Amino acid sequence: MKNFPFKEMIDTLRNAVQEDVPVVTRISRSDDGSPFLILVSTLLSLRTKDETTDMVMQRLMERATTPQDILEIPLEELEKILYPVGFYRNKAAVLKAVSRTIIERYGGIVPDTVDELLTIKGVGRKTANLVVTEAYGKLGICVDTHVHRISNRIGIVATRNPHETEEALRKILPKEYWIIYNTLLVAFGRKTCKPISPFCTICPLTHLCKQVGVTKHR
């Protein structure tokens, strides 16, 4: 959507969600927020509730904070640490593989570009963008289900999948909002703009929203 009032939207969401930010963002803002831990928390957060990711990350960080630490934990033990995140067995194997690649190919340092991160098996576009923005403060637009759904619901874009949404947003979203966009919309999607029956009656963005696809709301 051309001429969409992004500044008004971002300012409104900053006031609305305040500190209700995703665990990946909290880790990136903490003293322990290394690029590797941001990568790990992003991988664990896939298809997992944020509070569960937070709990498991705290448990994991007691044992491992580097790729080498991950490799030294026996697979069965790592699986137990990661439980109850979704697909914890698969994610344990992915963490092992990703850690090995980072050590062997990058000397233990997490790459700082989307293109390089995408060459690592197990790292998708959403994860790569989130690591680049949260860990290195570089420009990128991380599009997950929240960002894709809400951007379409409001009417900012009309896209079929997250990749198309990212491409569309890169053309119209002012660069000053690229990094914060995901953080705000994820928090907003969890709290107010839910997938089914969103809280439209208390939504601070109602006046900007076209409510595309909304058939029932509260």
| 22 pLDDT more than 80 | no
HSE-CB at 34 with a 13 A cutoff on CA atoms is 13
pLDDT at 31: 65
Task: State yes or no: pLDDT of 45 exceeds 80.
Answer: yes
Residue pointed to by tokens 């290195």: 136
Q: What is the pLDDT, as a whole number, of residue 98? A: 98
Indicate the SS3 state at residue 14: helix
Q: What is the C-alpha separation between 118 and 56, in angstroms, rounded?
A: 25
| The model's pTM | 0.85
Report pLDDT digits (tens) over 128-141.
Answer: 999 999 999 999 99
> What is the 3-state secondary structure of 98-135?
HHHHHHHHHCCCCCCCHHHHCCCCCCCHHHHHHHHHHH
The secondary structure of 181-195 as a DSSP string is HHHHHHHHHHHTS-S
How high does pLDDT run on average in the chain?
93
**Which domains are seen in the chain, by residue range?**
6-20+141-208 (1.10.1670.10), 23-136 (1.10.340.30)
pLDDT at 19: 61
Report the pLDDT value the prediction gives residue 158, as an integer from 0 to 100. Answer: 97
For the residues 153-176, what does the mean pLDDT come to? 96
Query: Per residue in 86-107, pLDDT tens?
Result: 899 999 999 999 999 999 999 9
Please give the pLDDT value at position 97.
98
Q: Is the pLDDT of residue 35 over 80?
A: yes
9-20: average pLDDT: 86
pLDDT at 2: 72
Q: 184-208 pLDDT, tens per residue?
A: 999 999 889 999 999 999 999 999 9
Which residue is listed with tokens 């790990």?
A: 40
